[in-house]
Amino acid sequence: MGEMKIPATALFGAQTQRAVENFTITQDVMPWSFIDAVLHIKLAAAKTNGDLGLLTKEQSIRICTAVDFILERKPLDQFPVSVYQTGSGTSTNMNVNEVIAKISSQKDAPISANDHINLCQSSNDVIPSAIQISAARKTTQQLIPALKSLIQTINGFANNHRDVIKTGRTHLMDALPIKLIDECKAWSSQLEECIERLESALPRLMRLPLGGTAVGSGANCHPEFAKKTIRTLSRILELDFTQARSLFKGLSSLDSVVEHMSHLKTCAICMSKIANDLRFMNSGPHNGFGEIQLPALQPGSSIMPAKINPVIPEAVLMAAARVIGNDATMSIAGLGGNFQLNTMLPLAAATILESINLLSESAHALSEKTIKGITVNRDKLASALPHNPILVTSLTPYIGYNKAAEIAKIAEKERRPLIEVALEQTEIPKEKLQQLLDPQHLADGGLATHT
């Protein structure tokens, strides 16, 4: 296709340079975690092809040594191809092939990017496999541990305040009393279910279409290549990868990636719930709920002195919004499967890996910079409880709904404690009323037996 001028410092070749010059929609390049996955495929492939006698022992060793060198040095500038490139990701596959070939070649024994590095492979099976490998690795090594750490932090905070009773809220309005520990354990339960969803999807995500080559038929691929390469990847990366049940499906469909992304979206929605609860509980401090005080991390206003805002929950909400938007992007990427290939693979890779990063760092920020530093305003919580008109709920089995509502209205209008009005309006003994209207009693979830 003609000569190409390549920078003197470049380890890549003509195909990469063409991609750099052609794909200029954005400067956003493929994430390193994705390049890392492609490199590991090349490493495992070189070992397999050496074992199968398709490469000489020396060629196999030189390729593996070159990949190890790249993985250790992480020369990001040598992988300049934009996310918005050819839909198969061929430019990125060849970028990796060219860099490995340059490093592993010797003057009298060149290594070919196509004939040696790409042996028994195609961009069409390498790139979707790399998407699934990178997403599985980041989910297991980064996101799930971050979620578990956040759960541990929430539960630790909850257990340290297990005696705190507060006003529950539905529709943002006062409701029955609850325990702070129960409110927090709801958050951690949400996160635990997020982990369950992610783990349930991992086996499908780890079914790799390696061996399908160009269209799924396995043309130009040794019959033992995929099995041996996937076994090597599983050993090196310490994950249980398997071969896709249908290689045609693996090349043309992003279903497993779309499914995994949907669970990431659910996780984002879960974190939004937690972040918003924290914002409301922290609001005020004098004219809001003021139940807790979040750590003061930075000034909140350029004009209002002493104003402190819930900056970490706000940042988490923005990250969650991005992930939720990424789910829509991934759904459209999933629609890019036509016949034997999906042609939105680079976008799918960038989208899911960004989402995993955002959620992992959001979990870390909530844990380390928010929940660990919360101060509970116990006096404010306790002082508000006796004046909550919803406490009359416990009286309805004895005096009926309408009478209980009447007592609540009188107490609210006259700004009097409920128990005073209830003593005037009912024949229930004071000792019994004290028991029924005790916030602790209601927070424990039980109404006393009818008498």
Residues forming the active site: 171, 301
**Cβ-proximal residues to 136 (8 Å cutoff; 6+ apart), any chain:** 202, 205, 206, 239, 241
Q: Please compute, for residue 309, the number of CA atoms within 13 A of its CA located in the half-sphere on the CB side.
A: 11
| CA–CA gap between residue 164 and residue 182 (Å, rounded) | 10
Rg (CA), the chain: 30
| CA–CA gap between residue 382 and residue 443 (Å, rounded) | 13
Cis ω on the peptide bond leading into residue 203 (within 30° of 0)? no
178-207 burial, b at 16+ Cβ within 10 Å, e below that, comes to: bbbbebbbebbebbeebbeebeebbebbbb
Are 435 and 448 contacting, i.e. CB atoms less than 8 angstroms apart?
yes
Are 256 and 201 contacting, i.e. CB atoms less than 8 angstroms apart?
yes
Which residue from 256, 274, 148 is spatially nearest to 209, judged by alpha carbons? 256
Q: Please compute, for residue 440, the number of CA atoms within 13 A of its CA located in the half-sphere on the CB side.
A: 6
Tokens encoding 253: 């469909």
β-strands 337-338, 341-342 pairing: antiparallel
Whole-number Cα distances in Å, 283 to 19, 221, 276, 288, 399: 51, 62, 10, 5, 37
